[in-house]
Structure 1
Amino acid sequence: MLGEFTRQLCTNRLTKELSIEEIIKEAANLIEVSSEDKPYFEQILRMFLQDKNESVKVFHPHVFQYLPFCSGAEMKGEQEIGKFLAEVLIKDSTHLKSIFEKHISKDLVAKLILNQLNGLERIEGKQKYISKLPYITELFQEDFLFLVQYEDYFKNHYEMFVSYYYFLYITQLTLKLSQKGKAQFNHNNEVFFTLDWEATSKSRKSYSYGYHMIKESARSLLIDINCLEHLNFLMGTDDSQTYPELKETFENLANDEQTMFLEMLRDWIMEYRVHQVLSEVEGNLDLDLDYDSLVGNLFLSIEEAYEKPSMQGPQNRYPLSIEEIGKKYFLKTRGSLGYMLNVSQDLLLLLTALSLKNERKSLKQVFVELELRGLSFDRYSREEIVKLYDKLNLLDKKSDSGDAQYVKPIL
Structure 2
Amino acid sequence: MIEQNNLQELKDALSIKNEKAGLKHTINRKSTFLPFLTRGTERPKFRKGFEGVLGGFTRYISHNELREELDLERLINNVSNLVDVKPEDQSYFHEILRMFLQQKNGKIKVFHPHIFQYLPYSSGPEMKGEQEIAKFLADILTDHDSEFKSLFENHSSDDLVAKLILNKLQGLENIERKKKYISKLPFLSEIFKNDFLFLVKHQDYFKDHYELLLSYYYFTYITQLTLKLAQQSKATYYNSNEVYYTLDWEATSKNRKGYGYGYHMIKDTARNLLIHINTLEHLNTLMGTKNSQSYSELLDTYETMPQEQKELFLKLLEQWITEYRLHSLLPEEDKKFSSTYQSLTDHLFSSIEEAYQKPSMQGPRNRYSLSIEEVGKKYFLKTRGSLGYMLNVSQDLFLLLTALCLKNERKSLKQVFFELEKRGMYFDRYSKEEVVKLLDKLNLLDKKSDSGDAQYVKPIL
CA distance in 1, matches of 2:357, 2:451: 55
Q: Which of 348, 351, 354 pairs up with 1:298?
A: 348
Query: Residue 207 of structure 1 corresponds to which residue in structure 2?
Result: 259
Return the letter of the residue paired with 2:291.
D
Choose 125-134 or 84-93, whichever is displaced more: 84-93
Contact 1:10 / 1:93 at 8 angstroms: preserved in 2?
no
Bigger Cα displacement from structure 2, 90-99 vs 336-345: 90-99
Output the CA distance in 1 between the equivalents of 2:146 and 2:313: 41
Q: C-alpha separation between the residues in 1 aligned to 2:289 and 2:323?
A: 21
SS in 1 for 2:151: helix
The residue number in structure 2 matching 1:222 is 274
Instruction: Verify the 8 A CA contact 1:91 1:138 in the aligned structure 2.
Output: no
Equivalent in the alignment of 2:162: 110
2:367 aligned with 1:312, yes or no? Answer: no
2:13 corresponds in structure 1 to none
Residue 115 of structure 2 is aligned to residue 63 of structure 1: yes
> Structure 2 residue aligned with 1:329, among 379, 383, 386?
379
Matching residue's letter, 2:238:
N
User: Is 1:41 matched up with 2:84?
Assistant: no
What does residue 199 of structure 2 align with? Answer: 147
SS of the residue 1:389 aligns to: helix
Q: CA deviation at 1:99?
A: 1.6
Secondary structure of 2:450's partner? Answer: coil
Write the mapping of 1:154-165 to structure 2, written as runs, cut at 5 A.
Answer: 154-165=206-217
Which ranges of structure 1 fall in alignment gaps of 5 or more residues? none
Match 2:104 to one of 15, 40, 52: 52
Using the alignment, how far apart are the partners of 2:224 and 2:452 within structure 1?
30
How many angstroms apart in 1 are the aligned matches of 2:146 and 2:328? 48
Aligned partner of 2:314 in structure 1 is 262
Q: Check whether the contact 2:102–2:108 (CA below 8 A) recurs between aligned residues.
A: yes
Shift of 1:93: 2.9
Deviation at residue 267 of structure 1 after TM alignment: 1.2
Counterpart residue identity of residue 189, structure 1: N
2:391 matches 1:353: no
CA contact (8 A) 1:9 1:97 kept: yes
Q: Give distance in 2, aligned partners of 1:392 and 1:98.
A: 35
2-structure distance, mates of 1:76, 1:92: 21
Q: Deviations over 1:306-344 (max 9, x none)?
A: 111111111111100100000111000001000000000
Instruction: Compute the displacement of 1:35 (Å).
Output: 1.1
Alignment partner, residue 151 of structure 2: 99
Q: Is the 8 A contact 1:331 1:339 kept in 2?
A: yes
Indicate which of 169, 176, 182 corresponds to 2:221. 169
Displacement of 1:55: 1.6
1:120 matched to 2:172? The reply is yes
Amino acid at match of 2:66: L
> Can you list the C-alpha shifts for 1:221-269, whole angstroms capped at 9, x where unaligned?
0000000000000000111110000000101110111111111111111
Q: Name the TM-score, length of structure 1 as normaliser.
A: 0.98
In structure 1, what residue type is equivalent to 2:67? Answer: T
Q: Does 1:183 align with 2:227?
A: no
Q: Which has the higher helix share?
A: 1
Matched, 1:273 2:325: yes
Q: Counterparts of 2:169 and 2:197 in 1: how far apart (Å)?
A: 25
Pick aligned residue for 2:419 from 363, 369, 373? 369
| Paired amino acid for 2:294 | T
Q: Does structure 1 conserve the Cα–Cα contact (< 8 Å) formed by 2:405 and 2:416?
A: yes
Amino acid at match of 2:239: H
User: Which residue is 1:240 aligned to?
Assistant: 292
* Secondary structure of the corresponding residue to residue 341 of structure 1: strand
The answer (yes or no) to whether the contact 1:89–1:131 under 8 Å persists in 2 is yes
CA deviation profile, 1:59-85 (whole Å, cap 9, x unmatched):
000000000111111111111111111
* TM-score normalized by the length of structure 2: 0.88
For residue 36 of structure 1, give the secondary structure of its aligned residue in structure 2: helix
- Aligned amino acid, residue 329 of structure 2: V
Give yes or no for contact 1:232–1:246 (8 Å, CA) kept in 2.
yes
Q: 2:456 aligns to what SS in structure 1? A: strand
CA distance, structure 2, for counterparts of residue 158 and residue 93 of structure 1: 18
Q: Displacement, 1:91?
A: 2.6
1:132 to 2:187 alignment: no
Provide the rounded CA distance (Å) in 1 between the counterparts of 2:352 and 2:93: 65
Look up the SS of the partner of 2:243 in the other structure: coil
Pair 1:251 & 2:303 matched: yes
69-78 or 199-208: which moved more? Answer: 69-78
- 8 Å CA contact retained: 1:206, 1:340: yes
Of the candidates 393, 400, 405, which is equivalent to residue 455 of structure 2? 405
What's the CA shift string for 1:252-291, capped at 9, x where partnerless? 1101111111111111111111111112222x621x2200
Q: CA deviation at 1:92?
A: 4.4
The structure showing larger relative contact order (alpha-carbon pairs under 8 Å, at least 6 residues apart) is 2
1:285 aligns with 2:336: yes
Count residues in correspondence.
Answer: 409
* C-alpha distance in structure 2 between counterparts of 1:366 and 1:70, whole Å: 37
The corresponding residue for 1:390 is: 440
Task: Encode CA deviations 1:136-177: one digit per residue, 9 max, x unaligned.
Answer: 110100000000010000000000000000000000000000
Counterpart contact for 1:174–1:214, Cα < 8 Å = yes
SS at match of 2:391: strand
Q: Which one-letter code corresponds to 2:155 in the other structure?
A: H
Distance 1:333 1:252 in 2: 48
* 1:56–1:67 CA contact under 8 A, matched in 2: yes
| Corresponding letter in the other structure for 1:300 | S
Query: Structure 1: how far apart are the matches of 2:101 and 2:274?
Result: 43
- Give the RMSD, CA atoms, in angstroms: 0.8
**Residue in structure 2 matched with residue 77 of structure 1 by the alignment:** 129
- Equivalent residue number for residue 39 of structure 2: none
Q: Secondary structure at the match of 2:400?
A: helix
Distance in structure 2 (CA, Å) of the matches to 1:249 and 1:306: 28
